[in-house]
């Protein structure tokens, strides 16, 4: 039993959202050996959300492109709250959310890779794109969930992950989203004596992260939960938000 525990501990101690963990984030395989490699899995997205399922069409097997939303019924929202692994679960369980996608946004490099973003070389932040049905869940509700799952008081850092690539942010796509985001910021600011450092910046191209990052919390629950606990995310959220803290 002790040997088994030692092996298990060793297998999860490397898990993390910080730079230099590509090996663990590929599921314990090197990128060259992974079932889906970081490069091959970086497929382009046209972002036409299927009305029934929220699926987004992937067009190219070798290159990623910016998301442009053309669906007339569904809507999308972009949020950054540190490690994108941890931002998918709170939205996936919301009624009216059809899909979440981990990726990179608000940077200057086209088609960035995880290695580039995690090194802080592209200006991007780890983010998620949420496809939702506004008839079932409002953008205001998505904002509520966002705030309770981030630390809005710490700049260029979320929990144990440090660097501008882990800054928190809201990236509105429309004037209505911008107005709602700014109203939520004013409401949140009134709760704290410290300034809110979460940025609100108009949406720019969003690039899907490599496939091994998508739904990481369901693909690798042991590693995910160990990372989340070790990073101090839940304890800090409770400190900031009390009983309203997200999970």
* Signed CA dihedral, 129, 130, 133, 138: sign only: negative
Are β-strands 206-208 and 97-105 bridged in parallel, bridged antiparallel, or unpaired?
antiparallel
- DSSP classification of residue 195: P
The yes-or-no answer on residue 83 being catalytic is yes
Which ranges in the chain belong to alpha helices (H)? Answer: 2-12, 22-25, 84-92, 114-118, 139-147, 175-189, 216-219, 221-231, 233-241
Are β-strands 45-49 and 56-58 bridged in parallel, bridged antiparallel, or unpaired?
antiparallel
Residues 92 and 199: their CA atoms lie apart, in Å, by 23
Residue 142, Cβ density class (10 Å: 0-12 exposed, 13-18 middle, ≥19 buried) = buried
Residues 166 and 78: their CA atoms lie apart, in Å, by 14
Catalytic residue of the set 83, 86, 160, 231? 83
Beta strands (DSSP E) in 122-219 are: 125-132, 157-158, 161-162, 168-170, 199-200, 206-208
Query: How far is Cα of residue 153 from the mean position of the Cα atoms in its chain?
Result: 18
Residues recognised as catalytic? 83
């Amino acid at each position: 039993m002790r040997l088994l525990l030692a092996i298990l501990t060793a297998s999860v101690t490397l898990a993390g959202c910080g730079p230099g963990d590509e090996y663990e984030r590929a599921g314990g395989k090197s990128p060259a050996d992974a079932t889906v490699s970081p490069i091959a899995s970086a497929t382009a997205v046209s972002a036409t959300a299927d009305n029934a399922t929220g699926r987004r069409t992937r067009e190219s097997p070798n290159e990623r492109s910016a998301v442009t939303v053309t669906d007339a019924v569904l809507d999308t929202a972009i949020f950054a709250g540190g490690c994108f692994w941890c931002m998918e679960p709170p939205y996936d369980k919301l009624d009216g959310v059809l899909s979440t996608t981990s990726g990179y946004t608000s940077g200057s490099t086209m088609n960035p890779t995880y290695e580039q973003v995690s090194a802080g070389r592209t200006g991007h932040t780890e983010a998620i794109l949420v496809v939702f049905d506004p008839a079932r869940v409002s953008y205001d509700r998505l904002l509520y969930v966002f705030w309770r799952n981030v630390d809005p008081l710490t700049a260029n850092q979320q929990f144990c992950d440090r660097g501008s690539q882990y800054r928190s942010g809201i990236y509105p796509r429309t004037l209505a989203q911008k107005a709602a985001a700014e109203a939520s910021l004013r409401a949140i600011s009134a709760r704290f004596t410290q300034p809110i450092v979460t940025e609100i910046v108009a949406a720019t191209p969003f690039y899907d992260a490599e496939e091994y990052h998508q739904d990481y919390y369901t693909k690798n629950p042991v590693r995910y939960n160990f990372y989340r606990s070790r990073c101090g995310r839940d304890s800090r959220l409770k400190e900031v938000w009390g009983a309203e803290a997200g999970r």
